[in-house]
Amino acid sequence: GAVVSQHPSWVICKSGTSVKIECRSLDFQATTMFWYRQFPKQSLMLMATSNEGSKATYEQGVEKDKFLINHASLTLSTLTVTSAHPEDSSFYICSAGGGIDTQYFGPGTRLTVL
Amino acid sequence: GQNIDQPTEMTATEGAIVQINCTYQTSGFNGLFWYQQHAGEAPTFLSYNVLDGLEEKGRFSSFLSRSKGYSYLLLKELQMKDSASYLCAVRGAAGNKLTFGGGTRVLVKP
Q: Does B107 touch chain A (CB under 8 A)?
A: no
Of A97, A100, A105, the CB nearest to B43: A105
Residues of chain A contacting residue B84, judged by C-beta atoms under 8 Å apart: none
Residue to substitute from B45, B47, B85, interface A, most A β-carbons within 10 A: B45
Question: Which amino acid belongs to residue B86?
Answer: Y
Question: Chain B contacts of A95, Cβ < 8 Å?
Answer: 98
Residues A59-94 have pLDDT tens digits of 999 999 999 999 988 899 999 999 999 999 999 999
Predicted confidence (pLDDT) per residue in B12-50, tens digit: 999 999 999 999 998 889 899 999 999 888 899 899 999
CA distance A8 to chain B (A): 14
pLDDT of residue B38: 93
Task: State how far residue B7 is from chain A, nearest Cα, in angstroms.
Answer: 12
Residue A52 carries which side chain, given as an amino acid letter?
Answer: E
Q: What is the mean pLDDT of residues A28-56?
A: 90
Q: Which residues contact A99 (CB under 8 A, 6 or more apart)?
A: none
Side-chain half-sphere CA neighbours of A47 within 13 A: 27
Chain segment B59-90, per-residue pLDDT in tens: 999 999 999 999 999 999 999 999 999 999 99
CA distance B26 to chain A (A): 16
> What is the 3 state secondary structure string of chain B?
CEEEECCCEEEEECCCCEEEEEEEEECCCCCEEEEEECCCCCCEEEEEECCCEEEEECCEEEEEECCCCEEEEEECCCCHHHCEEEEEEEECCCCCCEEECCCEEEEEEC
Q: Does B50 touch chain A (CB under 8 A)?
A: yes
